[in-house]
Amino acid sequence: MALSDDLFARALKVIPGGVNSPVRAFRSVGGAPFFVKAAHGATLTTADDRELIDFVCTWGPAIHGHNHPVIKTAIAKALENGTSFGTPNPYEVEMAELITRFVPSIQKVRMCNSGTEATMSAIRLARGFTGRDKIVKFSGCYHGHSDSLLIKAGSGALTHGNPDSAGVPASFAQETVVVGFNDRDALEAAFAANPGKIACVILEPYPANVGLILPAPGYLKFVRELCTREGAVLIFDEVMTGFRLAKGGVQEIEKIVPDLTTLGKIIGGGLPVGAFGGRADIMDKLAPVGPVYQAGTLSGNPLAMAAGIAGLKLLDELNPYSRLDTLGRQVRDTLAAAARAKGIAAQVPQVGSMFSIFFTPDPVTDYASALKASAPLFARFFRDCLDHGVYLPPSAYETCFISTAHQGEAIDRACEVMAGAVKRL
Ligand code: KE4
């Protein structure tokens, strides 16, 4: 029996579904997940010594490729002095100063341990700041698994057919208003139906948890202006896009200033980190200064901070974004050409180092149009790529990530494999 199969059989006995996060379970693409024992650069090495070119990049953090020597050295150096102090430490200050420098809208920031904690806390903060209870989210956007946000959620929730998770009390769900992304009228109507009651609007400015969707021209500006008019806090969930598409994230690209921003993934350098920050007048509502409580045993952990600081400084030094966009265009153009040659309808949205593929003839502009794409065809495409050594996110409702380590042989080989997979559909 292959080692991965043996590990999965053991895992199934003691871990629900054999995985610690549902989207890893391969349930929507068929087959059993493989287990990874090592990751370097653009490559994963499975328990059975298969080498795979990785486009999941641990769901975003590995923008410099896996196990980058600069990040590894930073962790090792921090480790010499211990793993956790439970007190303020110098790394936290340096991390906060870096984040506020990279993202000017963030005047103050609070570290936590995951994107879920970041968005959950940002929503509580917006409710505490405004004294209002309702929140607005967009169908298909995924902001982690806190109760208020598991309503019409994307990513693993959508992949496994429970975008409205069981276990969320109706009394919680009714405080969450869900509207379609890119739908101006629906957002106007949500405010009209809840005058003075909406604490915040939270969105992924480039939704990437139903596959990748880009905002219609002017849409983000419209959302910003509506929130300002209605006194609602605008939260950009940049857990995925933060530092991924620009040092300052989507808000730098689109020149929109949110009131709060949530971050994660890249700022941990591969270790568990989340963060939320924004206007000082809002952030100062947080304990111990203000009445909104939020806390965390390992928040600002020195090892995680050291890893994240090293990764952010490397971005500052290398400024890899145009290189990453070139790699993204190479993949997009390869897939689009292969689909045309095969006569298969496909959309291949791409921005910077993020791309996805929808097997559908129509442009994908929101959750509803994303659902029209063929998930079974994606599963066949996924399986063929994996059989030929390229690992994509195991779900039609995720986005692929490219790292600087993909440049050269890895991206060329992967493009060959993905073009061949389209041809064999
Ligand atoms: P975490 O709690 O998983 O660190 O972050 C939640 C989160 C918040 N906001 C956005 C925009 C996110 O994409 C995420 C998490 N992303 C998924 C992948 N699309 C994590 C993968 C998983 O659930 O295993």
The structural domains of the chain, with segments of one domain joined by +, span 3-63+320-423, 69-317
Given a cut of 70, the residues of the chain with pLDDT beneath it are none
Q: In this predicted structure, what is the pLDDT of residue 347? A: 98
DSSP secondary structure code for residue 66 in this structure: B
**79 contacts 303 by C-beta, under 8 angstroms:** yes
Partners of residue 39 on adjacent β-strands: 44
Q: In this predicted structure, what is the pLDDT of residue 2? A: 83
Q: How far is CA 193 from CA 185, 188, 352, in A?
A: 12, 9, 38
Selected from 3.30.110.30, 3.40.640.10, 3.30.70.260, 3.40.190.10, the CATH number assigned to the domain covering 69-317 reads: 3.40.640.10
Does residue 321 carry a catalytic annotation? no
Q: In this predicted structure, what is the pLDDT of residue 161? A: 79
Architecture of domain 3-63+320-423: Alpha-Beta Complex (3.90)
Probe ligand 1: pick from 146, 239, 243, max atoms within 8 Å of CB? Answer: 239
Q: What are the backbone dihedrals phi and psi of residue 40, each rounded to the nearest 5 degrees, phi first?
A: -140, 130
Q: How far apart are CA 253 and CA 234, in angstroms?
A: 17
**65 contacts 406 by C-beta, under 8 angstroms:** yes
pTM of the complete model: 0.98
Does residue 265 carry a catalytic annotation? yes
Enumerate residues lining ligand 1, CB below 6 A: 21, 23, 59, 114-116, 119, 142-144, 155-156, 204, 209, 237, 239-240, 264, 274, 398
Q: Which of 237, 259, 366, 384 is catalytic?
A: 237
Q: In this structure, which residue's CA is closest to atom 20 in ligand 1?
A: 59
Residue 380, both tokens: 């066949």
The pairing of beta strand 51-54 with beta strand 198-203: unpaired
How much distance in Å is there from the Cα of 23 to the middle of ligand 1?
A: 10
Helix locations, 170-298, DSSP H: 170-173, 184-193, 219-230, 249-254, 280-283
Q: In this predicted structure, what is the pLDDT of residue 152? A: 86
Q: In this structure, which residue's CA is closest to atom 13 in ligand 1?
A: 240
Residue 297's nearest CA partner among 125, 128, 87, 145 is 87
Q: How many other CB atoms are found less than 10 A from the CB of residue 325? A: 17
Distance of CA 148 to the CA centre of its chain: 18
How much distance in Å is there from the Cα of 338 to the middle of ligand 1?
A: 30
Q: What are the backbone dihedrals phi and psi of residue 148, each rounded to the nearest 5 degrees, phi first?
A: -65, -20
Instruction: Give residues with Cβ within 8 angstroms of 207, minimum separation 6.
Output: 138, 140, 141, 154, 181, 213
Does residue 142 carry a catalytic annotation? yes
